[in-house]
Amino acid sequence: MTQPSFGVIGLAVMGENLALNVESRGFPVAVYNRTAEKTKTFMAERAQGKNVTDTYTVEEFVKALAPPRKILVMVKAGKPVDAVISQLKPLLQEGDMIIDGGNSLYEDTQRRTEELEAVGLGFMGMGVSGGEEGALLGPSLMPGGTPEAYDKVESIVTKIAAQVDDGPCVTYIGPGGAGHYVKMVHNGIEYGDMQLIAEAYDLLKNALGLNHEQLSEVFAQWNQTEELNSFLIEISAEIFKKIDPETDRPLVDVILDSAGQKGTGRWTVVSSLELGIPIPTIYAAVNARVISSFKEERVAAKEQLAGPSGKYEGDVQSFIDKVRDALYCSKMCSYAQGMALMGKASEEFGFNLNLSEIARIWKGGCIIRAGFLDKIKAAFKENPKLPNLLLAPEFKQTILDRQEAWREVLAVSNQLGIPVPAFSASLDYFDSYRRDRLPQNLTQAQRDFFGAHTYERVDKPRGEFFHTEWMENS
């Protein structure tokens, strides 16, 4: 058996499946997991007869690998990554490389890159998306680090990634924490997509009264459309069909309406606030998960805070079509926000991101994979400096054509008291972005009134600042 030069540390769902994926493409693999029992189970149940070397100490793991070693770390983000790095560091030699494939915060990746490069070791922060199945059969990969480090892993990552019509779903993203930054924004967009879909579901179920078979049919039809065809719409159609064996009810109805989160959505919002790029749809999605978690409080509040209820009384099919349009318009706004955030981060952190390529590698393997990413790819290929996706010819006309339906859906939601925070945040984003005059002239006047913060004037060049003694002679 050829000695492996590629190893995986961390045999939870992602590590196990990535190790098997790498092995299936013809690369022998060594594996190690802190808890030995997991390694033994993995070897017995999934890796038997495969080109996988099991090891039970970090020393044994490093010895099993031929230099230059490429070590993929798939452990829980945060302290565990530092713990693994500090165990590996004294055992590795110049030219070896650690690849952190977890959902690490990009700033941690930046720090780890500097620390390891200072001692002659390579380090890459690689975003991996696609969940369990993607990891096994082909994920979308977002590797960041030096171009030289990428050259060393290119032959492997291009083989293990999902393959789409225009190549493997992997590309060199950029230096330092670029890969993890892009993965973080991918997850923020994923939060946005999931919330928008949840709002569409809420409207179809509660404003129209569709049952679960009808919901499944609508989502399956939407999945056939060029604009909404996507993994998340596809799995939603399947979810509505699933019956709970215990209660014989649709399983989705039995699931508690309290959403979890692991932090990447929140990090995306924090970064957007730091960089001054509004991402209200994604922020609304994060907040929607938070408020959903106040289950007991919401149940108690229902008794005290009455509001409108009832069903939509117009034509059902036409309203379904309008919800589809509202979903698509909102989705365009959400992606416009995510792409704008990456554009700003690219400038600010010197990532030199290729937004067209990023849209391309999200076409397959990852959770947000969708037909319409092809259009985003084309838009940024045509104009890499596009200030906002909504201005791209591919999107501009579509949103203009559908805005009336979008507005009607929001009006109906408001009348019926059905919360649609991400639909609303998207429309507010659209309306704010397209307005040449916003009411922040008053904000500036107030700031100058109470804090002498000064203001600029519409009839004077930008950069000239004025102050008024507001209470004088009044």
Active-site amino acid positions: 183, 190
Listing DSSP states for 362-384 in one string gives: TSSSSTT-BTTHHHHHHHHHH-T
Query: How many CB atoms sit inside 10 A of residue 381's CB?
Result: 15
Residues in 228-247 at the binding interface with ligand NBP, rule: CB under 6 A = none
| 131 lies in the binding site for ligand NBP (CB under 6 A) | yes
> Residue 13 CB, nearest distance to ligand NBP (Å)?
4
Residue 93 corresponds to which tokens in the numbers above? 């030699």
Contact status: 99 vs ligand NBP (CB under 6 A): no
- Of 100, 142, 157, 102, which Cα lies nearest the Cα of 362? 142
Instruction: Using the minimum distance from each CB to ligand NBP, give the nearer residue, 87 or 444.
Output: 87
Which of 43, 58, 77, 259 binds ligand NBP (CB under 6 A)? It is 77
Q: Quick one: which segment of 74-82, 385-393, 396-404, 408-416 binds ligand NBP (CB under 6 A)?
A: 74-82
Query: Shortest distance, CB of residue 48 to ligand NBP, whole angstroms?
Result: 20
Residue 8 sits at φ, ψ, to 5 deg, of -125, 130
Per CB under 6 A, does 13 bind ligand NBP? yes
Q: HSE of 219 in the Cβ direction (CA atoms, 13 Å)?
A: 28
Task: Determine the interface stretch with ligand NBP among 28-36, 171-179, 210-218, 383-391 (rule: CB under 6 A).
Answer: 28-36
- 207 touches ligand NBP (CB under 6 A): no
Identify the DSSP state of 3: P
Exposure class string for 190-225: b at 16+ Cβ within 10 A, else e: bbbbbbbbbbbbebbbbbbebebebbbebbbebbee
Would you count residue 57 as binding ligand NBP (CB under 6 A)? no
Q: Say which amino acid occupies 236.
A: S
14 binds ligand NBP (CB under 6 A): yes
Tokens of 296: 């007991």
Binding to ligand NBP by CB under 6 A, coded x per residue (else -) over 385-424, reads: ----------------------------------------
Nearer to ligand NBP, 161 or 207 (CB): 161
Q: Which of 282, 201, 278, 264 is nearest to 235 (CA)?
A: 201
State the nearest-atom distance from the C-beta of 286 to ligand NBP, in Å: 17
By the criterion CB under 6 A, which residues form the site for ligand NBP? 10-15, 33-35, 38, 74-77, 80, 83-84, 102-103, 128-129, 131-132
